[in-house]
Homo-oligomer: A and B are copies of this chain.
Amino acid sequence: MELTRDEALNYVKPYLKVKRYEHTVRVADQAVELAERFGADIRKAELAAALHDYAKYKPLDEMKRWICEDRRLPKDLLDYHHELWHGPVGALMLEREIGLHDPEIMSAIRCHTTGKKHMSILDKIVFLADYIEPGRDFPGVDEVRDKALTSLDRACAMALKNTIVFLISKERTVYPDTFHAYNNLI
């Protein structure tokens, strides 16, 4: 698979709402900027970002079947909010559909919502680009944007902190990978 940016964006476009597609384009741009800043593979960052939300609007039943049937997907995902499913499931759908096999890109797509214990630089870039792309507007995002100018790890730690505190304030469960990512970066 030697996908270009435009091929990746065109592949996901029909499956996304317009706003979500526009978000995806901004995440791709943001990921390129971060990859340049922190010395990651720019092409991989751009592709992973372009593909990251592919499964966002897939039917829940379909995603549930993937989680039940593919041994590479942790079954405990079913115990947590279905918002967490589209990353891990999307990476495997893309593997089957377009022959996406690059383990670094697949990892970044998988963990873009939750983070995970030992995040690679590419994982961090896609996670952070998704959090700070210019269309995002929630409490604390500007502080994370500022931090992202100088430290990828510190910016990711701040984003994870905000996410955990937000979820707890809403009395929602927090997927263990998110805690592991936080502990690992602190």
Main secondary structure of the interface of A (DSSP, over half): helix
Task: Tell whether A186 pairs with B161 under 8 Å between CB atoms, given A176-B176, A176-B179, A176-B180.
Answer: no
A168 at interface (Cβ–Cβ under 8 A)? yes
Select A172's contact among B171, B179, B186, beta carbons within 8 Å: B186
Chain B residues with Cβ under 8 A from A21's Cβ? none
A174 at interface (Cβ–Cβ under 8 A)? yes
Contact A168 B164 (CB under 8 A): yes
Q: Which residue of B lies closest to A184 (CB)?
A: B173
A165 at interface (Cβ–Cβ under 8 A)? yes
Contact B183 A173 (CB under 8 A): yes
A74 to chain B, nearest CB (A): 14
Interface pairs (22), CB distance under 8 Å: A157-B171, A161-B168, A161-B171, A164-B164, A164-B168, A165-B165, A165-B168, A165-B169, A168-B182, A171-B186, A172-B186, A173-B182, A173-B183, A173-B186, A174-B179, A174-B182, A174-B183, A176-B176, A176-B179, A176-B180, A176-B183, A179-B179
Give the interface of A toward B (CB within 8 A). Answer: 157, 161, 164-165, 168-169, 171-174, 176, 179-180, 182-183, 186
